[in-house]
Structure 1
């Protein structure tokens, strides 16, 4: 390992925010270990080491961490970014898909963190950056299990921070809102796939699809959100939450402080799409 070099491990690095974060950290002279199932989509620019990673597989997670530690001896920052939206009616989504949602969005991050923490403790420093969402607080129909995973990772991250701060390690969350990426289309495709035959929820899926198509046209790009990843990873006095905009922050405040108001607003929007 080069003197004074910094090492970051990024999951879900083959597209969207993970891909842009990979390129951003490399441009700032970090050694980037970029993990994803589709390794062919990860760039091979200087400073980027693409590795196969399936966060739902324990052997894959261990091989990912072992490779980095064998080559670098340390991991300064772990960015738990891998995730997707298993959308659909809460009544109809198969349990296998629900478990996959939690394995990908939550349990994968937990396992990788457990594997990495011993080395961070021995070095006396480290940063765990967990990519949550404003969806950890706010919600829409069809996203029951996605929202549950994002709420879970936030509570877990906060508790973890209370435990590891004594060792010079911090656990923080980045909470993006609407984003110009493939996330929206994948979530909606899953919502349609998870509909049962002659489902009574079909009209709701059509309504939510229209709403998403409008909202996600105006969001920030993945490259812009990658800047939030970098800030969360490098701030000398890290915050527990990082939001991209004042609008995102205010939306969360309303949902937390006035849950009935959020629900009324949501119902109004759904009726007028």
Structure 2
């Protein structure tokens, strides 16, 4: 039986942006399947009426099982949101190659395997949308984020190629480029930077990069901002190829287009230094803006 409601599958839906996307699509008339490895964190989605399922985007057999089950239950699949991903941070020199491979397995090959699994259904329908969650880091490289940045640059290029390949089948490929988003991701990434750098040659740069991540998260947008844009891209008649959205994303994307590399390099390095100064001031008891909560957390 074919579902009367459009059907969407969202990966990486156990928290943050993915969780918000699943809720927003459901509230706008979609039958939603939310996939993640941490199924126990999706109880809130299930309570709304969203279907939750275990989904590991690095496991091809698991992907095929989930997609085939959706096709059997609903008779169609209209939207795939490739949101699952994470960040490996540290100097290219210092991050173990095994971790770099894992980064691309999830952020790049996970996206392509998910897309390959749904394409036969969408081609048969002569309709469908694949929405890939990239990042502003898919356009702007940050120091000590090379492997993560590289994976997002890859998604940008792969999405462009897929858009051209699938146009004759009525399938649209859209990229969402989130900017600064409020989450625990920045804190975890900053801690990862410090662990990788240790007391080695990148220690100072690591402190600056970690402070930058914490600062942009502090002033970032809510995940719902991304969810609204995904829902728009999933429903508008003629979606654009990409949308830069969230804290600083439109400005950052514009700066990347118009500024030379030397200017971007200078701005990125200075941003790290200023962010470190800002974070240090927050934890200085002699500073009038001293944040007592940060001292308690430590």
Q: Do the two structures share a fold, i.e. TM-score over 0.5?
A: yes
Residues 136, 3 of structure 1: alpha-carbon distance in 2 compared, 3 angstrom cutoff? closer
1:29–1:47 contact (8 Å) kept in structure 2: no
Secondary structure at the residue paired with 2:51? strand
Q: Which residue of 2 aligns with 1:37?
A: 37
Moved more, 216-225 or 120-129: 216-225
Secondary structure at the residue paired with 1:163? helix
2:91–2:144 contact (8 Å) kept in structure 1: yes
Q: Distance in 2 between matches of 1:59 and 1:193?
A: 34
In structure 2, the gaps of 5 or more residues are 277-298
1:247 Cα offset (Å): 4.2
Residues 234, 20 of structure 1: alpha-carbon distance in 2 compared, 3 angstrom cutoff? same
1:46 Cα offset (Å): 4.0
Q: Which residue of 2 aligns with 1:226?
A: 227
**Structure with bigger RCO (C-alpha 8 Å, 6+ apart):** 1
Q: 1:97 aligns with which of 88, 96, 99?
A: 99
Secondary structure at the residue paired with 1:92? coil
1:139-194 Cα deviation digits (max 9, x unpaired)? 21111011111110011101101111111110010000010012212322332333
1:255 Cα offset (Å): 1.9
Q: Which residue of 1 aligns with 2:113?
A: 111
Question: How do 1:184-263 residues align onto structure 2 when only pairs under 5 Å count?
Answer: 184-195=186-197, 198-244=199-245, 247-257=248-258, 258-263=260-265
Moved more, 1-10 or 66-75: 1-10
Secondary structure at the residue paired with 1:10? strand
| Higher alpha-carbon Rg | 2
The RMSD of aligned alpha carbons is: 1.6
Aligned length: 272
Residues 166, 95 of structure 1: alpha-carbon distance in 2 compared, 3 angstrom cutoff? same
Q: Distance in 1 between matches of 2:95 and 2:245?
A: 31
Residues 2, 124 of structure 1: alpha-carbon distance in 2 compared, 3 angstrom cutoff? closer
2:220–2:247 contact (8 Å) kept in structure 1: no
Q: Distance in 1 between matches of 2:2 and 2:187?
A: 41
Q: Distance in 2 between matches of 1:116 and 1:205?
A: 40
Residues 228, 39 of structure 1: alpha-carbon distance in 2 compared, 3 angstrom cutoff? same
Instruction: Note if 1:5 corresponds to 2:23.
Output: no
Q: Distance in 1 between matches of 2:187 and 2:100?
A: 19
Residues 66, 193 of structure 1: alpha-carbon distance in 2 compared, 3 angstrom cutoff? farther
Q: Distance in 1 between matches of 2:51 and 2:226?
A: 22
In structure 1, the gaps of 5 or more residues are none
Q: Distance in 2 between matches of 1:192 and 1:52?
A: 32
Q: Distance in 2 between matches of 1:270 and 1:210?
A: 7
Q: Distance in 2 between matches of 1:270 and 1:49?
A: 42
Residues 198, 243 of structure 1: alpha-carbon distance in 2 compared, 3 angstrom cutoff? closer
Q: Which residue of 2 aligns with 1:50?
A: 52
Q: Which residue of 2 aligns with 1:23?
A: 23
2:3–2:75 contact (8 Å) kept in structure 1: no
1:85–1:186 contact (8 Å) kept in structure 2: no
Question: How do 1:165-180 residues align onto structure 2 when only pairs under 5 Å count?
Answer: 165-180=167-182
